[in-house]
Structure 1
Amino acid sequence: MTLLNHWPLAGLRLITPRLELRSPDPDDLAALAALAAEGVHEPAVQPFTVAWTDATPEQRARSVLQYHWRRWGEWQPENWELNLVAVRDGVVVGTQGIGARDFPVRREVSTGSWLGRTHHGQGLGTEMRAAVLHLAFAGLGAQHAVSGAYADNAASLAVSRKLGYREDGIERHAVRAEPAVLRRLRLTAEQWQRHQPVSVEMEGLPDCLPWFGLV
């Protein structure tokens, strides 16, 4: 018996021209935590609803570990969130998540991600999200993918536009005790088929399908 017999998600791989996305092992998680401690964007901005930016480096690192452990422990086929590390040339550069509730019925996923600051501006954010969109639409049969970004998060919004997302309304949140507008975005399967700028290969998916609520 190996870990894959009990947790096949550990064998899932998404491979793009420059990246491998995979479920993190302990060394990957340590590298991701260190990346978070260094900061993932300019301290003057707060692109997340959770006040992660304003935490200390030690708090950010610990929260990364706890977040991944919590998502693993709470996994259910009807309510799941898959958080993968993005690895380039053996180096962890960031993390890409995809999740869903009642996926077999709703056929809708949501995504979220971040990159270490030294890896910004190289198109890796597009490549990471394209990988999980391929998993969602080509691998799992999704019909919709949703995302969101604050109005001043130009980089995230640019990735969404490049991948074919359309505007889907707004939400108002409180960030640093100030009102902030979150722009919702939606991508249909038909729109995704017209916007696939990155080739993606998948490994290990068949054994994982029941874990996503698919038989």
Structure 2
Amino acid sequence: MKPQHWPLYGLRLRTPRLELRLPELELLDDLASVAADGVHPPADMPFTVPWTDASPAACGKAVFQHVLATVANWSVRDWALSLAVLHEGEVVGRQDVTAKDFAVTGEVSTGSWLGLAHQGRGIGTEMRAAALHLAFAGLGARTAVSAAMTDNPRSLGVSRRLGYLPDGLEVTAVRGAPVTLQRLRLDRARWEEYRTVEVTLEGLDACREEFEA
């Protein structure tokens, strides 16, 4: 695919084990299939928007439509980069980097999921490290924020290993019940101190203006 009119398709984030890229249609179909196969036990709900409370086919369709929507609705003032994560050439999950008024705030937010079959191998930490490298080293971000439910130790552990600090609590409704979220914040100095994953970027210069970076 020649990304002449949407150069973000040429962006690549690489770590020792992973490649992160905006998926074209065939790769997006593979990503949707990973979602359809499950990303968490049915009794749990790690997302504030419970999109996985649906049939496998509906979950796959939702992922497919969501990623296409991030491209269609992209704005330099409100963007969402939704990357497929590949391990040894196989799609294993998704890593999002989003921002509003990035040129003013210098702040990004991250979110992600991994297929159940690929969890517990440190991939979640490595793919978030890649996203943080894009934000801080590639785009010149000043801060990165995230959040996780207080009963989600895996997500909180990833944030802790990467240097995030607690940034307060908030309560939201999920599945008709209150849940507590731990907000997390990482500034450039902490990122520099805690970075251990080697990351390379390819194709960023061609699409830098899309981020207002």
Bin for the TM-score computed over the shorter chain: over 0.9
Q: Deviations over 1:114-165 (max 9, x none)?
A: 0000100000000000001000000100000000000111110000000000
For 1:9, the aligned partner's letter is L
Alignment of 1:7-156 (within 5 A): 7-156=6-155
Secondary structure in structure 2 of the residue aligned to 1:47: coil
Offset at residue 102 of structure 1 (A): 0.7
Aligned equivalents of 2:50 and 2:92: distance in 1? 21
Aligned to 2:170: 171
Runs of 4+ more than 6 Å apart: none
- What is the CA–CA distance in structure 1 between the aligned matches of 2:49 and 2:194, rounded to whole Å? 30
Which blocks of at least 5 consecutive residues in structure 2 are unaligned?
none
- Give, in angstroms, the shift of residue 35 of structure 1: 0.7
In structure 2, C-alpha distance between the alignment counterparts of 1:62 and 1:35, rounded to whole Å? 11
Counterpart amino acid of 2:126?
E
| SS, match of residue 121 in structure 2 | coil
1:5: how far off? Answer: 2.0
- State the AA in 1 paired with 2:125: T
Q: In the alignment, what sits opposite 1:160? A: 159
SS at match of 1:41: coil
Task: State the partner residue of 1:185.
Answer: 184
In 2, Cα distance between equivalents of 1:32 and 1:93: 7
Q: Across the two proteins, how many residue pairs are aligned to each other?
A: 213
Aligned-residue sequence identity (percent) comes to 53
CA RMSD across the alignment: 0.9
Partner deviation per Cα, 1:172-195 (whole Å, 9 max, x = no partner): 111121110011000000000001
Scaled by the length of structure 1, what TM-score is found?
0.97
Measure how far apart 1:53 and its partner are: 2.7
Looking at structure 1, the residues matched to 126 and 50 of structure 2 have their Cα atoms a distance apart, in angstroms, of: 26
The SS at the match of 1:4 is coil
Matched residue type, 2:211:
F
Superposition deviation, residue 170 in structure 1: 1.1
Do residues 194 (structure 1) and 185 (structure 2) align?
A: no
Q: For residue 13 of structure 1, what is the amino acid of its counterpart?
A: R
Q: Which amino acid aligns with 2:206?
A: D
1:129 aligned counterpart, secondary structure: helix
How far is 1:213 from its partner? 1.0
Q: Which runs of 5+ in 1 are unaligned?
A: none
Q: Counterpart of 2:191 in structure 1: which amino acid?
A: W
Residue identity matched to 2:33: A
Q: Aligned AA for 1:168?
A: D
